[in-house]
Structure 1
Amino acid sequence: MRTAVADGGRRVSVHLADQDRQALIVALSHLPGLAAAGTAALPELTGLGAVSCGTDTAEDGRRVWAVLDL
């Protein structure tokens, strides 16, 4: 969430999904036109137990995501 909020957009959304005893959590900044996504948050997500995580940018803003075992 910190990464999405730091982008300075007017809103942030969080999306949750589960499948095969794993949860996907995505934070979206909704600020279009951002430069390539940084990876500073990824070691912290891994330290919190994420089995997979990443960040990217698209037309709808920056996405930071993590997959956690349930």
Structure 2
Amino acid sequence: MIENREQLQEILKKANQHARKQAKELGASIYYIKNNKRIREDAEGNKFEITFDAAGKRQEYEYHE
């Protein structure tokens, strides 16, 4: 069983790194939310903000932190 918060954070960090590595190897994108924005990060590390217009059409814009 997990003994403390720091151990849990380390496990989650390793899981995140593993998922990113697998996605990159497969050429897949990773999707997540950061600063209340939907982000898609492609296998090359390029980041795009995903938005939807009033008609529900998906749009992507280059994302800069």
TM-score, structure 2 as length reference: 0.28
Q: Which has the higher contact order (CA 8 A, sep 6+)?
A: 1
Higher Rg of the two aligned structures: 2
Report which of the two has the higher share of helix: 2
TM-score scaled by structure 1?
0.26
Higher strand residue share: 1
